[in-house]
Structure 1
């Protein structure tokens, strides 16, 4: 079967980082003595790549130096593959915005970056035909060496293997089984932290994941009481518990939910 028209496949050889590319170019551009310039073969063996890769690298010396100029060490160390942005001016503005936000320690989840990119695209005259897809964001991250991390907060879960808890659940299950589903109700309490920032954020190229942690988490919240029967045929209206006796945001209007006040916005016996 002919393979003349088959697409060319890249070999499984090593990909150099920009740091390694600059090191290699430095070996050829500044030898100690004129007659001590290393051979392509020797450098290829030293860095674990082919001689043709070294020759191609030397031919692109000017472009590589221009592309890497001004980049941080973190960017150079992790950039192995470079693709030109379809909208370089958009990407420049987006990157400047991201760096500014991270300097202020603002959490920037991926969906916010995509929304900002679309907003920048629409600010051009005429607007850019740009789709802020997840793939576009991922390509931008790779080109700009932008990291991503989960901001770990406070946490603690119930021990689901606790023997006492398991025994109590077994007793409760036996009692519930004696009633029809529409007569069995479940009430749950949850808290809505309405000032909490997103936990996932993008990081600037020279920013460590460790530096993105340790911020005080806002504790402003309200409590919600939710209740419905087992088969979903009857749902009790939501009850909300806040701190204020009469919040300003709804003063003079009718509440869409039942509202109660408590000094800590907790659900208590009262």
Structure 2
């Protein structure tokens, strides 16, 4: 009698089932961005370790996904669509941003304060003139911010310990006094050197903001839809106790702004990231850690001949992942509410950088005024793009001295600090503010010619003020998908990068410039010196031009022939883009 096979148990059957791989909204947007970059469905599926049919299903729901992400702050959510009131969804996103901002700035909160803020935000969003109609603007009194709603809100956004009362949320002086001893013990135990100890913190930068009293801000504020002074990015700044500043991470609201068309994102003076609110999230924080921090730390320590042994300290803000791991890296979080007292980046580094950024923004304006006969301040400022901003950021970073960065570790690790005269953060800030006032007077006009140091300082400190309701309104506004698609099409139609023809034009223009200098300057020695400098500066492009010219000469003639259009009766070859008629929805 044949042996009977025992039926598999229910538990073993379940174990054999393939576990579903749920994607967060942020991951789905990144997946969709890969498809926009012309990656095949199969390639994207392999990259994420999911079925190709799942990729197609996500693509099919692209509009709903992007629309939800545009109004939602909770990027870790997995649901794509919901029947919930859109104004409540948007209000909750704004409220989460506000809570994160307040905790970062040590502003005391409790449940009652948060619920009252929720009611106020909902009323503003529900009665917003941009959302008329009963379907999108229900009765503001319909939302009561009940305790039950508050409990569900906490779970949805993973907000813990928000019941802070009175001074509990303000700076914790006692903890800040005790922690440096704990910190030194960890440093000594593992034998870390100043070059191996890093601190990271993020900050908002209103990169196109001027003092409100200046006439360009007064005039522009009257224009409908004007938001230039509110253009905001998030900078992730990181440096070590020896005074080395890493290339910062930058979070912009757009993946491909027009001003950076044809630019290689890997060759910018910042590590480029994006989300709809230009706000740090756990996903972007993890991205920065693995793709920006680790490579730079490895290269830096390798060049110094030191082992890759890193101690990274950061605060426990909402956008900082708590589960980061990399071999050779020890991560420690500062005690709650001590950031403003002992975190090095908050002891003058960030403020000194913003002071230099403000001064260099004004210097950029003055330089443009000196070189353009048709210069107008309003016209120039309207064309001050994110590309200009990156140029100003790079200049400000170059002016940050290692002695200044080192001085900011005085409260946390005084033993590693060298007392340099004239290079403290306070002295750098004061010098930059004085220079900014001088440059403003050169620009002239209402609000500039009589600008004061106090107004410049207020502008620098504006980034540390709590987010206003208007800020939250703008941060949670949905960006038109149609506008994004138009921008993408325009970018795809443009030819990218340095072509042979463009390099040739650069060479011709350089020769014309050198000819003008030689013909017009009566001082022959000076003219020769300048032309020699131009030759040296342009040599890199000459080399690229020669290389590309040789490559074109070596190409087969068939590369320049147009392919014959395939007959409709012929069967196209199979590739990674072949359609899969079976769809297996992910959710």
> When the two structures are superposed, what TM-score results if normalisation uses the length of structure 2?
0.21
- Greater share of helix: 2
Which has the higher relative contact order, 1 or 2, with Cα contacts under 8 A spaced 6 or more apart?
A: 2
- Greater share of strand: 1
> When the two structures are superposed, what TM-score results if normalisation uses the length of structure 1?
0.40
Larger radius of gyration: 1
